[in-house]
A and B are shown apart, each in its own frame.
Chain A
Amino acid sequence: VNPHEHAYELVPLYTLGALDAAEREAVAAHLHACLTCQEELAVHAAVAAALTADAPAPQHVWRRIEQALDRG
């Protein structure tokens, strides 16, 4: 698969945080070098930001905070 096409297809998932670590790193690395993908990112990031603005607090992050507090 063409690396650009692969990254471009994954940008919406990247924006939502829906990739595994390896895919995320690959997309992030490609983004640094690719204006087309940066533009695609801007479009989807605007959607994700708008979804988040009024969103409830992310409960899975609260669990991480509790773990951090337990560690002291």
Chain B
Amino acid sequence: VTTDDVALVARIRDGDRTALEQLFAEVGGAVKAVAFRVLRDQVLAEDVVQDTFVTFWNAPEKFNADRGSLRSFLLTIAHRRAVDIVRSEVARSRREQTAPEPQQIDVEEEVWTRSLSRTVRAALSELADGEREAITLAYFGGLSYAEVARRLGQPEGTVKSRIRSGMRKLSVALAGVAA
């Protein structure tokens, strides 16, 4: 794995954008997951993903293969940035209202998270077609519910309620294993 990492980093240092794209395809999902677990906000999590890869592109020499995999290096950058965002948000809002505390996560918890992930994705496949389609387009396609409604030619209210009912079922499935 390390040899692959070193080869990939060498290509990125040479300015090979396809190498970065390959890296993104391999770990972009996990990077977003880490950011989301801290931030609980899709838009901010995607900003962190973008920052993480742009930062790495601009300074690939900061990766040291002796200290770990490229994957954990990127997850660590993303986690640190996400925590920074939560802290600045908390500092800002503490003056106005009580805000949710930042949720610290351990990058090494990935194994447990992956088993939860399999459960929820199995539950996703068992949703009604309309629910699954709306959630998938919104979440994995990055569309708003209004955009999903236009894409599917359905009323916005229908899409909204399908997302809500689908998410409710997924949360029940998750509560069953996480409890």
| A interface residues, Cβ below 8 angstroms from B | 9, 12-13, 15-20, 24, 28, 31-33, 38, 41-58, 60-62, 64-66, 68-69
Contact = CB atoms under 8 A, between A and B. Distances in A.
Nearest to B30: A53
A53 B50 contact: no
Given A18-B138, A49-B113, A50-B119, A57 B28 contact: yes
A19 B57 contact: no
Interface string B31-44: 01100110011110
A12 B168 contact: yes
B145 A32 contact: no
B139 A57 contact: no
Nearest to A18: B138
B96 A32 contact: yes
Contacts, number: 154
B144 A19 contact: yes
Contacts of B116: 50, 53
B171 interface: yes
Name B's interface SS. helix
Q: Which 4 A-B pairs have the closest CB atoms?
A: A17-B42, A57-B28, A18-B138, A53-B117
Contacts of B118: 54
Interface residues of B, number: 60
A64 B145 contact: no
Contacts of A54: 29, 114, 117-118, 121
B49 interface: yes
- The CB with the most chain B CB atoms within 10 A, among A33, A56, A65, is that of A65
Contact of A18 (B28, B54, B96, B143): B143
Interface string B1-32: 00000000000000001001100111111101
Interface core residue of A48, A49, A50, A55 (most chain B CB under 10 Å): A50
Contacts of B86: none
B70 interface: no
B54 A69 contact: yes
A50 B40 contact: no
